[in-house]
Structure 1
């Protein structure tokens, strides 16, 4: 067996291994037209045929470069040649504000997740490599990231109801290029991969400079694996700590002051960062000094607001609740998910809307039940209105509707171990 043939066998092994834990019946692969994703498409087409798994390919055209449409067509042609159904998704959401790369990445994942759900697909394979992982490490190192950032990308993670799998995360880009050359399969190089205006390209150059020291993608990968084990230990410690000091009450989190203060600062930092993400139903939480200031306010028993979450201090405990200002403009209808957390059921009628109860709704309720949560919590809670008239405020039992907490991030305690 020649060297290239052995390489091909190794790549096939890693692809098969990625799905040995939970083999899907229907799988998608994200394809850009670049060498990494074209290689993964070939490998998955071969594996899916052997395993009798339905495979589809998907490409996102962000419309940001004139070459993008041609790259999507190329990806479609390669997929067609492998008898794999291909779909191109278009994004036109860039308004020239904020971080373009981050906005494009978020849009790509959101578009693919929505498309996959419509196709009955629960797993999407991504072609990130050991090189991508190492570049991510150096990019985050330059931002003084903590352990969560330095552990990099996961081989498998759940997000937006989709399992995102990276079968080639231990393989180098050069290995995939060798495989494609053996297959006599061309690919298209993205010109932005050579543009030093991008941090990822700068990180690639830095890696090349460190090569004489023996620091390459595999060495960085091993370091990240070690850090990942430390992160896992911290996750379990934070989960156990949460069980000892946190309870959930109608979408709020109530934290016992004494038990909270007994944990290590890093465990408490992780717990509160996760709590803020969970209540805000956000992909990312606050970092740095803002989070530290919020933690300081907690320990001093003061009220504070951060990330769309309000802290209500107390003698024995603190309460984290949704901030009214963060949901004041959020509108929905009964039966649909509101604020990424609540589903209102048991009420129907034309023109009914779901919005935050607010002060006007509280005035219409009048005297609150003895067991009602604080007015700050109720003000940001979901309520049903017909025009300006309050129809239902489920969290206080006003009206016919019920509210079911269906946080898009899942159960608070479970998500401490699955983020």
Structure 2
């Protein structure tokens, strides 16, 4: 197959696969100026040709190193020359604490999603490649990740009201650069790709060493795709067990202790319970789950991932940890803690806060609800300043009702 025919075959059979079920009307390629993203833009244009699809490009300049602004300008100039709509988004939100790469990644998604919603873009294409897949696999292998962590990235997902696709996951960086060279498209090499401070750089060097065993990016990427198939199967049976055995009680989740099910399915239920209640994008690592199980077996209680977990003879109860929401304040018409929607006589000056000890003391009938004290402390309540107006979970309704924004089973379905 000639190189040009290989490009045509890749566009029609591989690049297009994330769009089989839903074709975008307006897609934006996330372009940094590196070879992966420049190839992403080129292939996106090839794929969109003749399909009545508008193509744009968006660049996020984190401003974290010298030259980033110039790289964004290079992308802008390239797009202007070819008549491609382009926008540079700038981020200056890092406060110098926490994980820089994670903060920059979250900022990229948030900035691009907001820009997409403002401009009518329904889909954003990301330039993750076979090489990225292999490097991620090795990094997670070093952390002793299970099936979830070792599974390949999703080719398509929805986040912040926008569809995201990764159409290059089965294409190597070498082939992408060959495509760029054939089409006289230049790119910028990011110096951070050689910065030994970053874990991904070490992973890349490890993979190079594995070449002596005939293990390369393609093989590691294929294994990660196999893991993704296993992950899908686990999620299917986790959902089935949740529908049968999981009980929701005023936002708490009760899981049976002694129902016969494979250990991994039980672990999946625990991880998803912690994510659903704690509003965490990622589940705790296996070691943290093992520690939780140990403390539950010895003391009957544990806190993890913003949740308080208790154990009885029959159930394990997952509830929101009060300390995780004690300072969380929001308007009564908003979704509080990412979980709760309140209905009632909304009025200026009212706000939602956790009930806490002060609020619980003002609910004389709270014991009649049958809910544990620890659960009620983190429950949503309506306040006017320091005066408690309503606490529906604690028996003080005053015309207010509270509903879950997303039931547990729906949370599991959305993650499939």
Q: Give TM-score scaled by structure 1 length.
A: 0.92
Instruction: Work out the CA distance in 2 between the residues paired with 1:415 and 1:385.
Output: 29
For residue 246 of structure 1, what is the aligned residue in structure 2?
246
CA contact (8 A) 1:29 1:55 kept: yes
Q: Secondary structure at the match of 1:286?
A: coil
Deviation sequence 1:137-168 (CA, Å, 0-9, x none): 11112222222111131212233333221101
For residue 80 of structure 2, what is the aligned residue in structure 1?
80
Deviation sequence 1:55-84 (CA, Å, 0-9, x none): 222111111011111111122222233333
For residue 256 of structure 1, what is the aligned residue in structure 2?
256
Q: Secondary structure at the match of 2:55?
A: strand
Instruction: Work out the CA distance in 2 between the residues paired with 1:19 and 1:150.
Output: 24
For residue 109 of structure 2, what is the aligned residue in structure 1?
109
Instruction: Work out the CA distance in 1 between the residues paired with 2:211 and 2:413.
Output: 35
- When residues 415 and 404 of structure 1 are mapped into structure 2, their CA distance, relative to the original with a 3 A threshold, is closer
- When residues 84 and 345 of structure 1 are mapped into structure 2, their CA distance, relative to the original with a 3 A threshold, is farther
Instruction: Work out the CA distance in 2 between the residues paired with 1:316 and 1:231.
Output: 28
- When residues 312 and 196 of structure 1 are mapped into structure 2, their CA distance, relative to the original with a 3 A threshold, is closer
Displacement of 1:369 after TM fit? 6.9
For residue 6 of structure 2, what is the aligned residue in structure 1?
7
Unaligned runs of 5+ in 2: none
CA contact (8 A) 2:363 2:396 kept: no
Instruction: Work out the CA distance in 1 between the residues paired with 2:128 and 2:380.
Output: 40
Instruction: Work out the CA distance in 2 between the residues paired with 1:141 and 1:248.
Output: 34
Displacement of 1:134 after TM fit? 0.8
Aligned pairs (5 A) from 1:128-139: 128-139=128-139
CA contact (8 A) 2:34 2:190 kept: yes
CA contact (8 A) 1:236 1:417 kept: no
CA contact (8 A) 1:151 1:227 kept: yes
For residue 416 of structure 1, what is the aligned residue in structure 2?
412
Instruction: Work out the CA distance in 1 between the residues paired with 2:51 and 2:255.
Output: 49
Displacement of 1:298 after TM fit? 4.2
- When residues 276 and 332 of structure 1 are mapped into structure 2, their CA distance, relative to the original with a 3 A threshold, is same
Aligned pairs (5 A) from 1:118-133: 118-133=118-133
Displacement of 1:8 after TM fit? 2.1
Q: Secondary structure at the match of 1:197?
A: coil
For residue 164 of structure 1, what is the aligned residue in structure 2?
164
Asked if 1:323 is matched to 2:290, the reply is no
Instruction: Work out the CA distance in 2 between the residues paired with 1:217 and 1:152.
Output: 13
Instruction: Work out the CA distance in 2 between the residues paired with 1:258 and 1:46.
Output: 55
RMSD across aligned positions (CA): 2.0
Asked if 1:18 is matched to 2:18, the reply is yes
For residue 312 of structure 1, what is the aligned residue in structure 2?
310
Instruction: Work out the CA distance in 2 between the residues paired with 1:372 and 1:385.
Output: 23
Instruction: Work out the CA distance in 1 between the residues paired with 2:257 and 2:145.
Output: 29
Instruction: Work out the CA distance in 1 between the residues paired with 2:392 and 2:76.
Output: 50
Q: Secondary structure at the match of 1:52?
A: coil
Asked if 1:366 is matched to 2:364, the reply is yes
For residue 217 of structure 1, what is the aligned residue in structure 2?
217
Displacement of 1:47 after TM fit? 2.6
Instruction: Work out the CA distance in 2 between the residues paired with 1:372 and 1:76.
Output: 61
Unaligned runs of 5+ in 1: none
For residue 404 of structure 2, what is the aligned residue in structure 1?
405
CA contact (8 A) 1:124 1:163 kept: yes
- When residues 251 and 169 of structure 1 are mapped into structure 2, their CA distance, relative to the original with a 3 A threshold, is same
CA contact (8 A) 2:152 2:225 kept: no
